[in-house]
Amino acid sequence: MDMERTARALVASGKGILAADESLSTIEKRFNSLGIPAAEENRRAYREMLFTTPGLGEFISGVILFDETIRQKTADGTPLVEALKRQEIIPGIKVDRGAEPMAAFPGEKITEGLDGLRERLAEYVRLGARFTKWRAVITIGTNLPSRTCLESNAHALARFAALSQEAGLVPIVEPEVLMEGEHTIERHFEVTETILKMVFQALFEHRVRLEGMLLKPNMVLAGNHCPQQAGVTQVAEATLRCLRQAVPAAVPGIVFLSGGQSDVLATEHLNALNQLGKVPWELSFSFGRALQAPALETWKGAAENISAAQKVLHHRAQCNSAARFGKYSSRRESAAQGGRASMSA
C-alpha cells in the first residue's frame, strides 16, 4: 500500500488513531499514579490488553507504538504488531527521542532523534510499521515561545517527515502547543497559527508530499490556569478558524492530540468540530490519555480486570468514532459511564 493510501486509511470514515507510544518515563508516571509497578512485563501486559480489545478495529485505524512495544509479543507468543494486524489496525511507531531542554533558551524544548534516523526507520519497516510520529513541544509563557524555538522544531519536523517518506512511511507531524499555563484562548490561537505556518513552510522546503502525511495538532484552548475557560463551541470554532488559516487542503487528515483534556471533553470538542460544516480534511483523533485513561484506571495491573478495561476502551473508541460524524451525545456517553461505574464497583 502506498503512502497516500495508508494516510487515507488512517483517517477512514468513523475511525481514528490510538496513541499508545508513551516513553518509559511517561508510562512509569501513569502507572505510578495508580500504584502499578513499572516493570517491562506490566507494560507488555497493558499494551496486550489494549490491542486485543474485541472489536477495536471497528473504530481504531492505527496504533502508535513505542520502540519497546513494537518488539514485544502477547502472552501466547504472537507479536503485538501481528495482533494489531488481525484487528485490521495499522501499526505505527514514535521515532522521536523526546523533547529536551533547548540550549540557551530557558523554559523551551527541542525534540531530538534525527541522528541515525534513516537506519532506525529501515528497521521499523522490517518490524511492520507503516507510519511514524514525531512530537514537537511548544510552551507558552512570558516572552515564550521564541522564534528560534519555533523554527528549530519546525525544521526538525520537516526533516523527520522527509526521511519517513523516503522509507515509505507516512509521517504524523505533531507540533503541540501545550495547554499548560495561564494564557487566553486568543494567545493559544496565535501561537498555534504561527507554528503551523512555519511547519508547512518547512515541509514545503523539504519537499514533503502533503498527500502522504497527517497533521497532529492541539485543539485551540484557553490555558488550563486561565480564569476564563472557553466553551465547547468556542473551542471548536477557534480551532477550525486557526486550521483554515494554516493547513493546506492537500493534507488528507488532521488527527488531534488530547493534550491533557479529560476524555469526555476531548470527545465533545471533536464532535463539535465535526458539526461545523465542510472542511477539506478529515477531522479525526490520535488520542493518548483521552482514550487510555479510563481503561488504565479500570485495569490497575490486574489480570482479572482485563475484560472490564477492554470494554471501557471499546466504549471510549466508539464515542470518539461517533464524534467523527458529529453524532456523539450524552446518551451515548452515559452508557459508558454506567459501564464504568459498575465495573469499578
DSSP 236-266: HHHHHHHHHHH--TT--EEEE--TT--HHHH
Q: Please, which residues have CB within 8 angstroms of residue 184's CB and are 6 or more apart in sequence?
A: 222, 223, 226, 228
Contact positions with ligand 13P (CB under 6 A) in 180-239: none
**What residues are annotated to the active site?**
174, 216
Which segment (122-130, 207-215, 254-262, 270-278) binds ligand 13P by CB under 6 A?
Answer: 254-262
Cell of residue 74, nine digits: 502477547
Contacts 24+ apart (CB under 8 A), 226-232: 226/181, 226/182, 226/183, 226/184, 226/185, 228/184, 228/185, 230/185, 232/265, 232/268, 232/269, 232/272
- Binder among 83, 288, 299, 333 for ligand 13P (CB under 6 A): 288
Report the residue closest to ligand 13P, judged by CB: 288
Bridge partner residues of 100 (DSSP): 110
- Binder among 111, 152, 258, 318 for ligand 13P (CB under 6 A): 258
Find the DSSP H helices in 11-53: 24-32, 40-51
Asked if residue 14 lies in contact with residue 66, where contact means CB atoms within 8 angstroms, the answer is: no
Q: Determine if 135 is a binding residue for ligand 13P (CB under 6 A).
A: yes
How far, in Å, are 6, 47, 106, 175 from residue 98 at the CA level?
A: 25, 20, 17, 13
Q: Which is nearer to ligand 13P, 63 or 208 (CB)?
A: 63
Q: x/- string (CB under 6 A) for ligand 13P, residues 40-79?
A: ----------------------------------------
Q: Which is nearer to ligand 13P, 25 or 143 (CB)?
A: 25
Q: Determine if 110 is a binding residue for ligand 13P (CB under 6 A).
A: no
Hunting for cell 470527545 — which residue is that? 267
Q: Determine if 290 is a binding residue for ligand 13P (CB under 6 A).
A: yes
- Binder among 46, 287, 299, 328 for ligand 13P (CB under 6 A): 287
Q: Kindly state the smallest distance separating residue 290's Cβ from ligand 13P, in Å.
A: 5
Q: Kindly state the smallest distance separating residue 121's Cβ from ligand 13P, in Å.
A: 18
Q: Determine if 259 is a binding residue for ligand 13P (CB under 6 A).
A: yes
Residues engaged in binding ligand 13P (CB under 6 A): 19, 21, 135, 174, 257-259, 287-290
